[in-house]
Amino acid sequence: MATDFLPINGTDHIEFYVGNAKQSALFYHYAFGFEMVAYAGPETGVRDRASYVLRQNKITLVLTTSLHPDSEISEHVKKHGDGVKVLALWVDDATKSFQETVVRGAEPAFEPKVLKDEFGEVVVSAIKTYGETIHTFVERSRYKGPFLPGYKARSSGVKAEPIGLKYVDHCVGNVELGKMNHWVDFYEKVMGFSLLVTFDDKDISTEYSALMSKVVSNGNGYIKFPINEPASGKKKSQIEEYLDFYKSAGVQHIAIATDDIIHTVGELRRRGVEFLYVPETYYEDVLDRVGTINENLEELKKLNILIDRDEEGYLLQIFTKPIQDRPTVFFEIIERNGAKSFGKGNFKALFESIEREQELRGNL
Ligand code: FE2
């Protein structure tokens, strides 16, 4: 096997550009149980923006807002609403990662640069991917600070109550009609990923709408990026609705792994997070499809958690409603019991649920 020209240790962080980072930070703190660990803004000498860094186990979120109308951040928020700007990848060599991908055709977002403060140094570089999203490569082996140089340690006054969120399982991109294969090629050729699985409209169409999806993964499998494009149906697909409101391709959902989905989802619900709803009939024959599971079906039903099985095991999953007013980005909570797949058996029930929501929004 050829050596991996882009070794990746994992997801470094995910940065959202938002309209009001201070309030978003409180949402992730209270509802999702993320602890604030660092901050950059006027009080730390950064004049044009405020960024809050929140962490739970291996997941680091950065919430950034502009302090001025004329900035790349403000333009991003004006066009897309709150959304994911950066899917940052943790690498051992950010300079080489940049060179290897750019020589294979990646469009640079910014050249490698060294950031320093009293805690050491970090090398960062970045390339563009779908829409206005970028991949930042972060090399942090010589750094001991709370996040990145320029950020100061900061905690919130109230301690967060974590809910068992462990790591980023996968991040899904929605791209324009006809562009899925282009971006799959990009991840294969430019980033050295390989194609894991393909879903076509026969797998995942409902009466109204459909989508096509391919999943790419890096060499060690730590990074998984499903890429969706709309497929034609009788009415507007959920991917088209996303593209209409995000105004370009972009990140559709971030799936976060937990070891105890009943606890995690119970807490999220108690704290006010809303989820997609599947009807009770889903549970009538689900065990015929997925076989024996360790969890109590009644508990799963009460929380509306979905179940699927593949050759290697089963998984439990649930999807939040969009986390901002535009019907764009949402979260998935997933617990894997051996299964390495993405819940194909639940697609139909889920998409019917999404269509009910689209109908309520007048977008079907
Ligand atoms: Fe997913």
Average pLDDT over residues 64-82: 98
H or E element at residue 256: strand 250-258
CA of 222 to the centre of ligand 1 (A): 14
Check residues 343 and 206 and name the one with the higher pLDDT: 343
> Is 105 part of any domain?
yes
> Which residue, of 153, 182, 212, is where some domain finishes?
153
> Which residue, of 85, 119, 153, is where some domain finishes?
153
Question: If pLDDT is split at 50, 70 and 90, which confidence band does 354 have?
Answer: confident
**Mean pLDDT of the chain, nearest integer:** 94
Confidence (pLDDT) at 212: 87
Confidence (pLDDT) at 152: 97
User: Best-predicted range by mean pLDDT among 2-6, 187-191, 275-279?
Assistant: 187-191
CA of 211 to the centre of ligand 1 (A): 14
> Is 236 part of any domain?
yes
The pTM for the full model equals 0.96
CA nearest 283: which of 266, 306, 316?
Answer: 306
State whether 264 and 355 are in the same domain: yes
CA of 217 to the centre of ligand 1 (A): 13
Average pLDDT over residues 212-221: 93
> Which residue, of 96, 128, 153, is where some domain finishes?
153
CA of 242 to the centre of ligand 1 (A): 15
Give, in order, the Cα–Cα distances in Å from 24 to each of 31, 58, 288: 10, 20, 41
Cα 186 from Cα 299, distance rounded (Å): 42
State whether 140 and 177 are in the same domain: no
State whether 136 and 172 are in the same domain: no
Cα 104 from Cα 147, distance rounded (Å): 30
Cα 18 from Cα 164, distance rounded (Å): 25
CA of 9 to the centre of ligand 1 (A): 21
- For the ranges 46-55, 201-210, 313-322, the lowest mean pLDDT is seen at 201-210
Residue 344: domain span: 165-361
What CATH number does the domain containing 225 carry?
3.10.180.10
Exposure string for 8-27, b = 16+ CB within 10 A, e = fewer: bbebbbbbbbbbebeebbbb
State whether 216 and 354 are in the same domain: yes
Alpha helices in the chain (DSSP H): 21-30, 72-80, 94-103, 180-185, 201-204, 238-246, 261-270, 286-290, 297-303, 347-361
CB atoms within 10 A of CB 201: 16
State whether 140 and 229 are in the same domain: no
CA of 198 to the centre of ligand 1 (A): 14
CA of 272 to the centre of ligand 1 (A): 21
> Is 1 part of any domain?
no
Cα 254 from Cα 360, distance rounded (Å): 24
CA of 224 to the centre of ligand 1 (A): 10
Cα 303 from Cα 299, distance rounded (Å): 6
CA of 255 to the centre of ligand 1 (A): 5
Parallel, antiparallel, or unpaired: how do β-strands 194-199 and 210-217 relate?
antiparallel
Confidence (pLDDT) at 293: 96
State whether 178 and 224 are in the same domain: yes
Confidence (pLDDT) at 239: 92
State whether 178 and 273 are in the same domain: yes
State whether 254 and 284 are in the same domain: yes
The residues, any chain, with a CB within 8 Å of residue 42's CB and separated by 6 or more, are 50, 67
State whether 147 and 171 are in the same domain: no
Q: Is the pLDDT of residue 207 over 70?
A: no
Q: Is the pLDDT of residue 20 over 70?
A: yes
State whether 181 and 129 are in the same domain: no
Q: Helix and strand tally (H, E) in the chain?
A: 10, 17
> Is 84 part of any domain?
yes
Confidence (pLDDT) at 317: 97
CB atoms within 10 A of CB 85: 24
The answer to whether 140 and 91 have CB atoms below 8 angstroms apart is no
Confidence (pLDDT) at 85: 98
Number of domains in the chain: 2
Q: Is the pLDDT of residue 208 over 80?
A: no
Confidence (pLDDT) at 308: 94
State whether 202 and 124 are in the same domain: no
On the 0-12 / 13-18 / 19+ scale of CB atoms within 10 A, 77 is: buried
> Is 271 part of any domain?
yes
> Per residue in 252-308, pLDDT tens?
999 999 999 999 999 999 999 999 999 889 999 899 999 999 999 999 999 999 999
- For the ranges 179-183, 216-220, 355-359, the lowest mean pLDDT is seen at 355-359
> Is 159 part of any domain?
no
Parallel, antiparallel, or unpaired: how do β-strands 313-319 and 10-17 relate?
unpaired
Check residues 328 and 350 and name the one with the higher pLDDT: 328
> Is 36 part of any domain?
yes
Confidence (pLDDT) at 206: 64
CA of 25 to the centre of ligand 1 (A): 23
Q: Is the pLDDT of residue 1 over 60?
A: no
Confidence (pLDDT) at 2: 66
Residue position matching structure tokens 């390495």: 340
Residue position matching structure tokens 């001025």: 68
State whether 277 and 337 are in the same domain: yes
CA of 14 to the centre of ligand 1 (A): 16
CA of 253 to the centre of ligand 1 (A): 7
- For the ranges 120-124, 208-212, 340-344, the lowest mean pLDDT is seen at 208-212
CA of 307 to the centre of ligand 1 (A): 13
Confidence (pLDDT) at 205: 59
Confidence (pLDDT) at 47: 95
> Per residue in 91-149, pLDDT tens?
999 999 999 999 999 999 999 999 999 999 999 999 999 999 999 999 999 999 999 99
CA of 334 to the centre of ligand 1 (A): 8
> Is 2 part of any domain?
no
Residues at Cβ < 5 Å from ligand 1 ion: 255, 332
